[in-house]
Amino acid sequence: MSTFTKTHRNRVKRHPERGAYDHETVYKILDEALICHVGFAVDNQPFVIPTIHARRGDTLLLHGASTSRLLKHIEAGNPLCVAVTLLDGLVVARSIFNNSMNYRSIVLFGTGHLLDDPEEKYAALHALTERVLPGRWDDARLPNRKELKATSIIAMPIETASAKIRVGPPKDEPEDYALEFWAGIVPITQTFHAPQNDPKLKDNTPVPKYLQGYKRHS
């Protein structure tokens, strides 16, 4: 099993027993998430930007507007930090101090570059579209030249990464288990409802099969 080397950047310091560094665990969380958050600093001012992403092998593709400050940061060769968190439950303990959450999270590090080649850019947009809505690329109008110019795609080879995962019931202090407060887990799941028609949709336009019963792989 391939793993990311532990370094000062990706090492899980608090609750290290929850850390994981293998590619399979990290990429499974990355692929399930619909949104990631990209962190970077400009003139000592930190920024965190939510954006759509896709993974192509060991490279992360990020979608952005061609006028964003993130792109100037990338063009200057500066590093990025990307984070994803999936919530699985509220952990209700007998003590306030031990309340927690069950989660799966990852942090990725790397230095990105812009995809300028039209064919590479087109292929990346295809990957981004199909990752979120498999089947949509062949069932919609494709980007025109103006739209391609207004869109930027960043490719970030994943240099190092780590996952941090919490599962299971509350972990109370030994003396607190005798208390008569309820304790347990409130599970959290992401639910996708039936598609709703655009009010301007042409009459008798069916909902595509790939949107019927849509769900994310887990």
Q: 148-166, pLDDT tens digit by residue? A: 888 889 999 999 999 999 9
Band of the pLDDT at 33, cuts 50, 70, 90?
very high
Band of the pLDDT at 66, cuts 50, 70, 90?
low
- pLDDT above 70 covers a percentage of the chain that reads 98
Cα–Cα distance for residue pair 47/1, rounded to 1 Å = 34
Q: Which residues pair with 38 in a beta bridge?
A: 49, 82
pLDDT in tens, 68-79: 788 788 888 889
Strands (E), the chain: 19-20, 36-42, 45-51, 53-56, 59-65, 79-92, 100-111, 113-114, 151-157, 160-166, 184-187
Cα–Cα distance for residue pair 32/200, rounded to 1 Å = 31
CATH number belonging to domain 16-211: 2.30.110.10
For the segment 161-186, the average pLDDT, to the nearest whole number, is 97
